[in-house]
A = this chain, B = another copy of it.
Amino acid sequence: MDNRTVKHLLYEQVARIGRAVSSPKRLELLELLAQSDKTVEELAGELSVDVKLTSAHLKALREARLVTVRRQGKYMVYRLSGEDVAALWVALREVAEEHLLELQLQLDRMARDPGALASVTRKALLKQARRGEIVMIDVRPEAEFETAHLPFARSMPLAELKRRLAELPKSRQIVAYCRGPFCMLAGEAVKILQGRGFRARKLADGISEWRAAGMRLESAATD
């Protein structure tokens, strides 16, 4: 086997990973799985696409070894095959944000939305949360919170937010976060809170961004 053939095989393997992350739906699946393990049904629901199509995309991700499956009762539960996969998603998204003008414009528009939190560093935020100067809320579904969440954050799923407003203080700043910069949950939460007279802002980071920056996370087990 000559050099060029070997070389071609090597690049071909890496391109398999590239092909796996070349579809918007598969990227969305990866981001969801970075939050917590999920069944095909759950994933299909989040993406609002057919279960069959979701299954086909998951198969592609499985063939690139980016996810693994296990059976749990009658459900198939998918899981990212490593933290490096979530990091790859973050790296891809950051390159896209850096170089694609269209994406930058879209993100700017989101950032100008009610109460985006741009300039505060992660460490400063952590310090404020530790001291109780701000209240950090995680507005993702509870299962995702239990898998991993930011330190000092309290679970307050968007679906329950309106019912549980009494648990939140009006005196202190509230910081909401969700799955990452592309996720709309925190934006929704902030809109609701501000409408009810709370001082609320949103944080663009999610679990993967936080971890990729080398910051520590907590999970239900460590609480």
Interface residues of A (CB under 8 A from B): 3-4, 6-25, 27-28, 48, 64-66, 81-82, 84-85, 87-88, 91-96, 98-103, 106-107, 110, 182, 184
- Closest B residue to A104 by CB, please name it: B13
Partner of A184, one of B7, B15, B25, B98: B7
**Whole-angstrom distance from the CB of A39 to the nearest CB of chain B?**
21
**Do A11 and B182 form a contact, CB below 8 Å, given A18-B23, A91-B91, A92-B17?**
yes
> Closest approach, in angstroms, between the C-beta of A35 and any C-beta of chain B?
15
Q: What are 11 A-B pairs with beta-carbon distances under 8 A?
A: A7-B28, A10-B103, A10-B106, A12-B24, A15-B21, A17-B100, A18-B92, A22-B22, A65-B100, A81-B99, A84-B91
Cβ contact within 8 Å between B82 and A87: no
Contact at A13–B96, with CB atoms within 8 Å? Answer: yes
Establish whether residues B106 and A82, one from each chain, have CB atoms under 8 Å apart when the complex forms.
no
Quick one: closest B residue to A17, CB to CB? B96
A61 to chain B, nearest CB (A): 11
Does A92 lie within 8 Å of B88, measured CB to CB?
yes
User: A91: which B residues are within 8 A, CB to CB?
Assistant: 84, 87-88, 91
User: Who on chain B is nearest to A10 by CB?
Assistant: B182
A16–B102 Cα gap in the complex (Å)?
Answer: 11
Residue with the highest number of chain B CB atoms closer than 10 Å, among A21, A93, A110? A21
Residues A24 and B14 in contact in the complex (CB < 8 Å), given A100-B65, A106-B6: yes
